[in-house]
């Protein structure tokens, strides 16, 4: 999750990061072609709108051979010439003014997440890909871990922008136990969703969960396009999942802030939860997620049961560790 959109500007970073990233095992399907990214995003947003949705008359019985608004219709709504809009849609956002961006966002009925994405694309077009790189955190500060551990009544965990889970509390680990059961490290939410068969049972609304995961990665790929780990992850998922490839091509973007999550847990059954996402201001690129259930609901009781199960598991692990240490001392 990132801050609200603002005017385009430069972003300092590591020069040459994209050249290094291209040597990864998998190649990012969108490449680092800014013009194509802009073109595909704007044309896909235009294609989803009808004249009726924007208050314009529809000629020819409302049936169009090619779906969506025409370029001249978007240009009129945005308050720019057809030639200028055509240039924008072909990927030329360099030097575009804030007022034109606002008009474009309004004409295409972009939501807040899509507006952020448009501003990120504009920054990318103005500053150049080689300067658009920042390191992705892979761990949390001790104070953040203590905060997580202090949250005992709700699952909570921290992830970075590519979906790596970098810290969790006990209940968070118990809630997502199937994800942590896999051998891969770091644990990654998108990789689990698309590549682990257990995810389709764990998430009853798997398709929507998977689309959301793609939309989050799509936004991150433009916000931080030269990050090698992100490039590798998206390339891997595109290579191994046809569904990921199809949804990636849709150019939908999302910044998860709050929402509902339905989980079919192997220990306590189905859970209906609400999540809240909070950016860690002191740690750019990290977001904390916490989950809660409706008071008095069956899900709240199931969460409490899950907490008891997690505590029992911890106690058994501790007892086994103590026994092992005692045996080692006896041998010595």
**How would DSSP label each residue in 97-128?**
-HHHHHHHHHHTT--HHHHHHHHHHHHHHHH-
Would you state the pLDDT for residue 328?
59
Would you state the pLDDT for residue 110?
95
* Interval 190-217: pLDDT, tens: 999 999 999 999 999 999 999 999 999 9
- Each residue of 84-103: b (16+ CB within 10 Å) or e? ebeebbebbbeebeeebbeb
Would you state the pLDDT for residue 10?
35
Average pLDDT over residues 58-63: 59
Average pLDDT over residues 25-46: 74
What does DSSP assign to residue 164?
B
Enter the pTM of the model: 0.79
Grade residue 128 by pLDDT with cuts at 50, 70 and 90: low
Nearest Cα to 74, choosing from 99, 108, 97, 113?
A: 108
Would you state the pLDDT for residue 7?
39
The full set of domain ranges for the chain reads 17-131, 142-318
User: Which H helix or E strand runs over 276?
Assistant: strand 269-279
CA quadruple 96, 102, 104, 107: dihedral, nearest 10? -170
Average pLDDT over the chain reads 84
Whole-number percent of the chain with pLDDT over 70 = 81
Do 267 and 306 form a contact (C-beta atoms < 8 A)?
yes
247, with CB counted inside 10 A (0-12, 13-18, 19+), is buried
For the chain, count helices (H), then strands (E). Answer: 15, 5
- What's the topology of domain 17-131? 434 Repressor (Amino-terminal Domain) (1.10.260)
Tokens 């240490």 belong to which residue?
325
Q: Extract long-range pairs of 68-74: CB within 8 Å, 24+ residues apart.
A: 71/46, 74/46, 74/104, 74/107, 74/108
- Each residue of 204-230: b (16+ CB within 10 Å) or e? eebeebbbbbbbbbbbbbbbbbbbbbb
* Interval 105-115: pLDDT, tens: 999 999 998 99
Least confident of 50-59, 76-85, 135-144, 258-267: 50-59
Structure tokens at 198: 């257990």
Average pLDDT over residues 9-35: 46
In the predicted structure, residue 265 carries a pLDDT above the cut 90: yes
Grade residue 315 by pLDDT with cuts at 50, 70 and 90: low
* Interval 149-158: pLDDT, tens: 999 999 999 9
Grade residue 268 by pLDDT with cuts at 50, 70 and 90: very high
Would you state the pLDDT for residue 123?
86
The architecture in CATH of the region 142-318 reads 2-Layer Sandwich (3.30)
């Amino acid at each position: 999750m990132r801050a609200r959109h603002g005017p385009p500007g430069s972003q300092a970073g590591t020069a040459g990061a994209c050249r290094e990233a291209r040597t990864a095992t998998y190649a990012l399907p969108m490449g680092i072609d800014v013009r194509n990214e802009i073109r595909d995003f704007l044309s896909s947003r235009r294609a989803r709108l009808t004249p009726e949705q924007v208050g314009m008359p529809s000629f020819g019985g409302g049936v169009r051979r090619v779906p969506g608004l025409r370029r001249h219709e978007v240009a009129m709504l945005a308050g720019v010439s057809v030639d200028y809009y055509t240039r924008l849609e072909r990927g030329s956002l360099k030097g575009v003014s804030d007022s034109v961006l606002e008009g474009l966002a309004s004409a295409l009925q972009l939501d807040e997440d899509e507006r952020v994405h448009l501003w990120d694309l504009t920054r990318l077009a103005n500053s150049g890909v080689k300067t658009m790189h920042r390191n992705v955190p892979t761990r949390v500060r001790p104070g953040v871990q203590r905060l997580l551990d202090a949250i005992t009544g709700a699952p909570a965990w921290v992830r970075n922008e590519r979906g790596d889970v970098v810290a969790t509390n006990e209940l968070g680990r118990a809630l997502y136990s199937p994800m942590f059961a896999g051998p891969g490290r770091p644990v990654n939410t998108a990789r689990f969703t698309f590549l682990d068969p257990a995810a389709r049972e764990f998430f009853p609304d798997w398709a929507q969960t998977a689309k959301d995961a793609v939309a989050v990665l799509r936004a991150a790929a433009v916000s931080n396009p030269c990050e090698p780990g992100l490039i590798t992850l998206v390339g891997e998922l595109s290579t191994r999942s046809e569904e990921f490839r199809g949804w990636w091509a849709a150019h939908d973007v999302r910044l998860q802030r709050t929402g509902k999550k339905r989980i079919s847990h192997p220990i306590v059954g189905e859970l209906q939860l609400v999540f809240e996402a909070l950016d860690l201001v002191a740690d750019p690129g990290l977001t904390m997620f916490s989950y809660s259930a409706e008071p008095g609901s069956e899900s709240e009781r199931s969460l409490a049961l899950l907490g008891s199960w997690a505590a029992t598991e911890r106690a058994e692990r501790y007892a086994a560790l103590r026994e092992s240490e005692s045996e080692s001392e006896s041998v010595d």
